[in-house]
Amino acid sequence: MTNIQYLAPTTLDEAVSLYAAAAGSARILAGGTDLLVQLRSGMINPGIIIDIKKIKELNSIEQKADGSFVVGASVSGTQLAKHSSFGKTWPGVLEALNLIGSTQVQGRASLGGNLCNGSPAGDSIPALIAAEATVNIQGPNGSRQLAVKDVLSGPGSTNLSQDEIAVNFIFPTRQLGSGDAYLRMIPRTEMDIAVVGCGVNLTLENNICTSATVGLGAVAPVVLEVEAAAEALVGNKIEEETLERAAEACRAVCNPIDDKRGTIAYRTKVAGVLMKRAATIASQRAEGA
């Protein structure tokens, strides 16, 4: 391993300038739970590491007057769990983050790191897609916003350019009668990578689903938004017949890898099962909202 320069800017402008000036030889460090593993295993060999945790807007959680949330990209699952209202508003997003690794890992692992690492099995991503979260991105040429569903471009890669930093996530205002949930399947009880992960967010009015969004992870090269599953839910009661149609839509989009942790057939079947269970939990939460 060659010498690495460690930089810890305290402003976003400074971080963006340093990152751009490095012209591809720097890596962003948030919690480091992916980055340090990649560094130690020789997968990456950056000349500079830019630690973004000292930048205020990347490390804050704000609830706006309209109920929407702005969550800094380097905020950890533990920080979000301690927030007084985030978990009540977005329990599915929080449960996704709180499945990541162990208590120790959750104290470091950030939303931005989970997304920017680009893994199709990243646990927060299906829940973020279901929440219709967007991410603010800053680069030397200014800022832009991307829906989380449009961020991943392939296993381990994203649509951020090499000089762009994810700044924060916007979670929209919650309608009354809404609920979300995230479930994943792993071969062990914990500390494993999702074989399938499913996030569902829906709204009920008089027991009828009036809107829904479904995110499905670990079954394709990128985490998917399954619009056909949402369409199967909307306009209907959340009952077995509806759920089966939504599950079939999830199975239909599966294009998973076949490995020792799950065959194609297994992952495809589990996608439908998790869809049904997550939608049921989300609807129970919506009823209680």
Ligand X SMILES: Cc1cc2nc3c(=O)[nH]c(=O)nc-3n(C[C@H](O)[C@H](O)[C@H](O)COP(=O)(O)OP(=O)(O)OC[C@H]3O[C@@H](n4cnc5c(N)ncnc54)[C@H](O)[C@@H]3O)c2cc1C
CB of 45 to ligand X, least distance (A): 13
Q: How many CA atoms lie within 13 A of 2 on its CB side?
A: 8
* Choice between 233 and 270, CB closer to ligand X: 270
* Choice between 32 and 87, CB closer to ligand X: 32
CB of 78 to ligand X, least distance (A): 11
CB of 160 to ligand X, least distance (A): 6
CB of 106 to ligand X, least distance (A): 8
CA 225/CA 237 separation, integer angstroms: 21
* Choice between 163 and 225, CB closer to ligand X: 163
Q: Give kind and range of the element (H or E) at residue 225.
A: strand 224-225
* Choice between 144 and 208, CB closer to ligand X: 144
For residue 71, what are its two tokens? Answer: 């969550």
CB of 16 to ligand X, least distance (A): 10
Instruction: Sheet with 69-72: list strands edge to edge.
Output: 61-63, 69-72, 165-171, 134-139, 142-147
Q: Which residues bind ligand X (CB under 6 A)?
A: 27-35, 37, 52, 73, 99-101, 105, 108-110, 112-114, 116-117, 122-123, 160, 165-166, 191
180 Cβ contact partners less than 8 Å away, ≥ 6 residues apart: 90, 91, 92, 93, 127, 130, 131, 199, 200, 201, 202, 282, 285
CB-nearest residue to ligand X: 113
Q: Closest Cα to residue 80, out of 8, 31, 140?
A: 31
* Choice between 48 and 105, CB closer to ligand X: 105
